Chains A and B, each alone.
Chain A
Amino acid sequence: MTKKYKIAVDCAACALKMEAAATKVEGVAAASIGFMSQKLVIDFVAGADPLAVMEQVQAVCKRIEPDCEIVIR
């Protein structure tokens, strides 16, 4: 399952790091950040709960760049 989230990230290097960190979160099969389009695309592992996984993703992203915003719907 793939979902798309809005993300506000100001620095391109941070986006790269956040992408790498999000990929390592349990339940995430693949993560990709479009810096220009400000979108975060998460491919979830089958059976994962997107909301719970996204909270983890948000946590690791905030660790890298506290200013970043992810809209988890």
Chain B
Amino acid sequence: MNARQKWTLGRILTAMAILIGLEFFPAEGWLRAGLYLIPYFIIGYDILRQAIRGIVQGEIFDENFLMAIATAGAMFLGEYREGAAVMLFYQVGELFQSLAVGRSRASITALMDIRPDYANRELGGAIERVDPDEVVPGTVIVVRPGEKVPIDGIVLSGTASLDMHALTGESLPRDVGPGAAVLSGCINLSGVLRVRTTKAAEESTAAKILELVENSSMKKSRAENFITRFARVYTPAVCLGAFLLAVGMPVGRLLLGEAPLWSAWLERALVLLVISCPCALVISIPLSFFGGIGAASAKGILVKGSNYLEALAQINYVVFDKTGTLTRGVFEVTEVKPQGMSKDELLAYAAGVERYSQHPISRSLQAAFPPERQLEEVTGYEELSGYGVRAMVSGHSVAAGNARFMKQLGLGVSEALQSGTVVHVAVDGRYAGSILVSDVVKPQAAAAVDALKKAGVRRTVMLTGDTPNAAAVVAAAVGVDAYEAGLLPADKVTAVEKLLAGKGFKEKLAFVGDGINDAPVLARADVGIAMGALGSDAAIEAADVVLMDDDPVKISLGMAIARKTLRIVRQNIVLALGVKAVFLIFGAIGLANMWAAIFADVGVMILAVLNAMRIFLQPQTNAIAPLLSQDVSREII
């Protein structure tokens, strides 16, 4: 509770005590009016001051004005107790609102508690605790167990497990050692790390993410814009209605020759004014969106604006990039077919002959059969551009390369259609077999596509610059509805535009890419989603929705959170407008009194705020958990 809230609480308690006291103090006439004015002014002086200021400045249609008119009107009618009590309850409601909003703001911010508080700077053997902003790139800092990594950097010494949960939503800790890059916002679970910083604090990952999430509420959703436009018409309309009730009705009755009942109609008009405060609507909608964005970012899904959260909920088309999105984007040995030797032997020869090559294919062979397992000595290494490599491996002449190379060596090979790159190996002039090196489909890719379909996505399409062969294999493995292969980046834009032209007015198209060379398509789609963005500024820049890790299942999770948020937004709009409409009618025909009016204003607002907080109450993972727990066998191209 801040100072202002405490002050309001004090005023509420004082006014309440005086009002209770006055119940037992029989006073009549002017004395009674004067006595009730004391608590009325204690509790309402700021509202009255604001209302007068509003009138002077011509800003008359705000809630202060409504409350001042309503309560002053009640006082005027001699309903001193009601006038003061209404003001009192209005202030109680305002206090509740302020507390609820503050609390929810704090709990959302706590979800994203990745801002580092301090850094341990190492200087000449001594360690001092400093503000991360003072640390220049290249400084050595120390991160102890339990501390947050304050600034992005590279580990100099020490090993540790890092909890990346706040950044990616991933609960599995990651082990790092010397040479590994560490990102700010991770929590060190074990071991002391000495880190050389590579960026300034404000350029580091944690600061970038926080800025993005904080700015997200600036991009307003359609629902929020609707409320803004609505409030502009609503308050003047209500005031006009109240004026008609207070003046029009009695005058009408006079004209019809009936008793005007001035005070009864005035009271109804005042009730109408209290009911009509639009706070519940105005407050609960940005709160719901902010909650949805907060809940998503706790799962490693950064949404750059309420409008994108809204669009995320309406996605019917999902277009994927292949490499790095549905596949890992790294080459791995996926098949070994030896002839006349064991698989290990073939791999050993291949890795040996390729030992000194820097080609990505060679590196994947090295990864499959690491140098520490290789005992052979490699001499006479020779690289034949366009064919392959040749060397003496432990006294055997080994050649590895493409089919053309084998043909040149006078060896026949059968060339089956494959999605990856085939490395043929010959040992001592004899064909020894082939090794298939290819990109690997992410283990969760098929489950992710399936989850999207279950979430109501009409069509999933894969676009790739790769060969039709490779595309067909991946498309079948992950189960997308269609694919287009052999596309240049510009062709991808054309393909997406074609889909955009074909979709319905309310349907939305999302493009999912790794954000590195997809910028034009990411921008063209209704929602651009970049994956694996952790540490990549370019991806964060280009996309509307950023998935911090590589997991494509997060797309449907994000959609689930977005839909839940929108459901709550809609509920709140209906709740607030519905209750108000009912009470407005009751008030106009004289069935609702001041107390009902206070409920319609404050009660509905508190209900709406509580409803907005529901976004956090239920674990979002439920909808996805069964999919993840399925044993998704590793699909190989």
Contact residues of A with B, CB < 8 Å? 4, 10-14, 16-17, 32, 34-39, 41, 63-64, 66-67
Measured CB to CB, the nearest residue on chain A to B210 is: A37
Q: Are A12 and B217 in contact (CB under 8 A)?
A: no
Q: Are B279 and A37 in contact (CB under 8 A)?
A: no
| Partner of A37 from B98, B101, B214, B278 at Cβ < 8 Å | B214
Q: Are A10 and B279 in contact (CB under 8 A)?
A: no
**With an 8 A cutoff between CB atoms, is B231 at the interface?**
yes
A35-B217, A35-B283 known; 8 new pairs, CB 8 Å cut-off, are A4-B215, A12-B279, A32-B218, A34-B218, A36-B287, A37-B290, A38-B105, A66-B53
Q: Which residues does chain A contribute within 8 Å of B286, judged by CB atoms?
A: 12, 35-36
B:24-41 near A, CB below 8 Å: none
| Contact pattern, B 198-232, Cβ under 8 Å of A = 1, otherwise 0 | 00000000000000001101101000000010010
Category for how many chain B residues contact A: 20 to 34
Q: How far is the CA of A45 from the CA of B101 in the complex (A)?
A: 33
**With an 8 A cutoff between CB atoms, is B359 at the interface?**
no
Measured CB to CB, the nearest residue on chain A to B5 is: A10
Q: Which residues does chain A contribute within 8 Å of B62, judged by CB atoms?
A: 13-14, 17
Main secondary structure on B side of the interface with A: helix
Query: Separation in Å of the A68 CB from the closest CB of chain B?
Result: 12
Q: Which residues does chain B contribute within 8 Å of A10, judged by CB atoms?
A: 4, 98, 101
Q: Which residues does chain B contribute within 8 Å of A67, judged by CB atoms?
A: 4
Measured CB to CB, the nearest residue on chain B to A41 is: B218
CB pairs A–B below 8 angstroms (29 shown): A4-B215, A10-B98, A10-B101, A11-B283, A12-B101, A12-B279, A12-B283, A12-B286, A13-B62, A13-B231, A14-B62, A16-B228, A16-B231, A17-B62, A32-B218, A34-B214, A34-B215, A34-B217, A34-B218, A36-B105, A36-B108, A36-B217, A36-B286, A37-B218, A37-B290, A39-B218, A41-B218, A63-B53, A64-B59
Q: Are A13 and B57 in contact (CB under 8 A)?
A: no
Q: How far is the CA of A38 from the CA of B220 in the complex (A)?
A: 14
Q: Which residues does chain B contribute within 8 Å of A41, judged by CB atoms?
A: 215, 218
Central interface residue in A17, A32, A34, A38, by most chain B CB within 10 Å? A34
Query: Separation in Å of the A27 CB from the closest CB of chain B?
Result: 19
Query: Separation in Å of the B218 CB from the closest CB of chain A?
Result: 5
| Contact pattern, B 542-563, Cβ under 8 Å of A = 1, otherwise 0 | 0000000000000000000000
Query: Separation in Å of the A61 CB from the closest CB of chain B?
Result: 12
Q: Which residues does chain B contribute within 8 Å of A17, judged by CB atoms?
A: 59, 62
Q: Which residues does chain A contribute within 8 Å of B105, judged by CB atoms?
A: 36, 38
Measured CB to CB, the nearest residue on chain B to A65 is: B50
Q: How far is the CA of A17 from the CA of B286 in the complex (A)?
A: 15
B:148-168 near A, CB below 8 Å: none
**With an 8 A cutoff between CB atoms, is B239 at the interface?**
no
Q: Which residues does chain A contribute within 8 Å of B278, judged by CB atoms?
A: 13
Q: Which residues does chain A contribute within 8 Å of B283, judged by CB atoms?
A: 11-13, 35
